[in-house]
């Protein structure tokens, strides 16, 4: 199974015993939409709903931080996701949140995880089958494991200011990166991590929500000043849209981009972290 699968491919594979489909849609408060409600109204047949806010470290003051490996495994088992599953993730969100769940599943040890190119919007536009209601699932075993080399914390990001061992690429809008646009969370300072580069996640996609070609993606990283053959960390507002950058890097044969999980929700809230505004 490829990292990125088409709607044609998924339609042909639906119903196979080892295939699992996840709706990873999430919204921010300003979107005025409810992801779970929309899922129960219509979703790809057989899909289960992955609640990014709930499958997180709910004791953290930061939004949807990674949960423990044990909590993640427990939630995946309850969703009927287990060892040996081929998993396809999709969303219907302007945040392209499927990439966050792809990253989480990969970090926690799932071996075959793909994203549906174009997501639910493309699926519906093509008139494909949908179903409603809550799915009935059978618990399966999900082995507890975590690859923490894929995640960075504030200390590592602060140390990197000195060592410059890793490139840092920011998936937020250019205005937020420059500090000319307000942050969605008004308590946060504006600007970006010193030395980081800007590559807004929405530039990775075509108008229909599909990922751009590999050549186009490579050109975007190059234009942003990022050499994907070198160690790279993605950051964004709260660790969701930076996963799009990590997924694009994986499509280009570089699967080891880490993500700063706290991202700007943590960095911009601290009174002690250095911040740069402007280009």
- CA torsion through residues 116, 117, 123, 124, sign: positive
Answer for the pair 120, 59: CB distance below 8 angstroms, yes or no. no
Q: Any idea what DSSP says for residue 211? A: B
d(CA 122, CA 98): 14
d(CA 116, CA 89): 6
Cross-strand bridge partners of residue 43 = 131
Answer for the pair 150, 107: CB distance below 8 angstroms, yes or no. yes
Answer for the pair 36, 212: CB distance below 8 angstroms, yes or no. no
d(CA 34, CA 29): 9
Give the catalytic positions in this structure. Answer: 236
Structure tokens at 207: 């108008």
């Amino acid at each position: 199974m490829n990292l990125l699968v088409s709607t044609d491919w998924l339609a042909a594979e639906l119903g196979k015993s080892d295939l699992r489909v996840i709706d990873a849609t999430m919204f921010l408060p300003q979107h005025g939409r409810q992801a779970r409600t929309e899922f129960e109204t219509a979703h790809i047949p057989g899909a289960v709903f992955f609640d990014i806010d709930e499958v997180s470290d709910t004791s953290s003051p930061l939004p949807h931080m990674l949960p423990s490996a044990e909590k993640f495994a427990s939630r995946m088992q309850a969703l009927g996701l287990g060892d040996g599953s081929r998993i396809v993730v999709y969303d219907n969100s302007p945040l392209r949140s499927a990439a966050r769940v792809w990253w989480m599943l990969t970090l926690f040890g799932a071996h075959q995880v793909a994203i549906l190119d174009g997501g639910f919007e493309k699926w519906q536009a093509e008139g494909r089958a949908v179903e409603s209601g809550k799915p009935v699932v059978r618990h399966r075993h999900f082995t507890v494991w975590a690859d923490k080399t894929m995640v960075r914390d504030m200390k590592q990001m602060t140390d990197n200011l000195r060592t410059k061992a890793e490139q840092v690429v920011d998936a937020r809008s250019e205005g937020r990166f420059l500090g000319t646009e307000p942050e969605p969370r008004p308590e946060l300072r504006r600007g970006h991590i010193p030395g980081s580069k800007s590559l807004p996640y929405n530039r990775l996609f075509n108008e229909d929500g599909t990922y751009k070609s590999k050549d186009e993606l490579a050109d975007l990283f190059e234009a942003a000043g990022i050499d994907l053959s070198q160690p790279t960390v993605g950051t964004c507002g709260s660790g969701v849209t930076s996963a799009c950058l990590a997924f694009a890097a994986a499509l280009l044969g570089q699967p080891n981009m880490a993500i700063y999980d706290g991202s700007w929700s943590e960095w911009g809230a601290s009174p002690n972290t250095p911040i740069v505004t402007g280009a």
